[in-house]
Amino acid sequence: PQVLLLNGPNLNRLGQREPHIYGTTTLSDVENRVRAIVERHGLHLVSKQSNHEGDLVDILQEEAPDSVGAIINPGALAHYGYALRDAVVDAAIPVIEVHISNVHKREPFRHHLVLADVVVGQIVGLGIQGYLLAAEFLCAEWSRKSA
C-alpha cells in the first residue's frame, strides 16, 4: 500500500523560491522526510510534482486506487482549481491539504481554498512540518482501520 504526495505549481522551486515565506528546505528533502515516515509504518511513498493542473488530475486518477491517502499541496490551484477539486472528490481517498505558509495571513486571494470542504483537513502555516504531520496522520488512520 502507498501514500501519495502531490505538489502543485511552483513547489519544484521549494528551497529557492521566496525562502522568507517557504523556507530553505527543498522538495526532495521534504520527499525524503515524508518517505521515512510512511516507510516506518510499512507503507510506500509515491511523490509527484507538476506545474500543470491537468497533470495533477491525471496523477490522482491513476494513483488513487492504489493509495491509502494523499497529502496535497496544490500551490495556487488551492484558490481556484476546480478540476483538481473534482478529481479529489472522485478519488474517494482521505486527502490532507497542506500549505507551508499561513495563507490566511497573506493576500486576500489566498484566503479562499476550494478544496476545503472535500479534504479530511488542512494544515496551514506550520512550514514543511505540515507535510510530516499529515503523513503521521494518514499512517495512523491507516493502521487504525487495518487493525
Report the distance separating Cα 11 and Cα 4, nearest Å: 16
- Copy the grid coordinates of residue 76: 495556487
85 forms part of the interface with ligand DQA (CB under 6 A): no
Q: Least distance from C-beta 18 to ligand DQA, angstroms?
A: 9
10 forms part of the interface with ligand DQA (CB under 6 A): yes
What is the bridge-based pairing of β-strands 67-73 and 121-124?
unpaired
Choices 46-54, 80-88, 98-106, 138-146 (CB under 6 A): range interacting with ligand DQA:
98-106
Exposed/middle/buried for 40, CB within 10 Å: 0-12, 13-18, 19+?
Answer: exposed
Catalytic-labelled residue, pool 99, 111, 112, 131:
99
Between 8 and 43, CB nearer to ligand DQA: 8
In the block, residue with C-alpha cell 519544484: 12
25 forms part of the interface with ligand DQA (CB under 6 A): no
User: Quick check: is 52 catalytic?
Assistant: no
User: Quick check: is 99 catalytic?
Assistant: yes
Report the distance separating Cα 90 and Cα 80, nearest Å: 18
Residues at the interface with ligand DQA (CB under 6 A): 10, 73, 75-76, 78, 99-101, 103, 110
